[in-house]
Amino acid sequence: MKPMKDNCFVDSNICLYLLDNEGLKKEIAKAILKTNPTISTQVLNRNVNILFKKYKHLTTIEIVAHTKFLCNNCKVEMISIATINSALFIKEKYQLQW
């Protein structure tokens, strides 16, 4: 995987791939997270929710460790009204999906 120079935003799926059994997705997720990407508080909350609901084999301690790992290896941004307004503007300007 070619190293990225720009800051990127990581969705919750990439964070979950760290726990995947499939080697390729896991390795790509590790490489992306080495770049110190940005995640939102929503991504953190979604990860915790999915881990408790669907990753029943994980203990609470493991889920907490995963969450702390994300907090320590990503820039965590709060979602504010200004963020939502900016996203709506970018969506419309570039005809992106929400």
Q: What is the pLDDT of residues 72-97, one digit of tens each?
A: 999 999 999 998 999 899 999 999 98
Higher pLDDT, 91 or 4: 91
pLDDT of residue 5: 63
What's the whole-model pTM score? 0.79
- Would residue 84 count as lying in a domain? yes
Concatenate the DSSP letters of all residues of 26-93 into one string. Answer: HHHHHHHHTT--EEEHHHHHHHHHHHHHH-TTS-HHHHHHHHHHHHHHSEEE---HHHHHHHHHHHHH
- Would residue 2 count as lying in a domain? no
What are φ and ψ of residue 63, in 5° steps? -65, -40
CA 84 to chain centre: 17
Domain extent, residue 81, equals 12-94
- Would residue 33 count as lying in a domain? yes
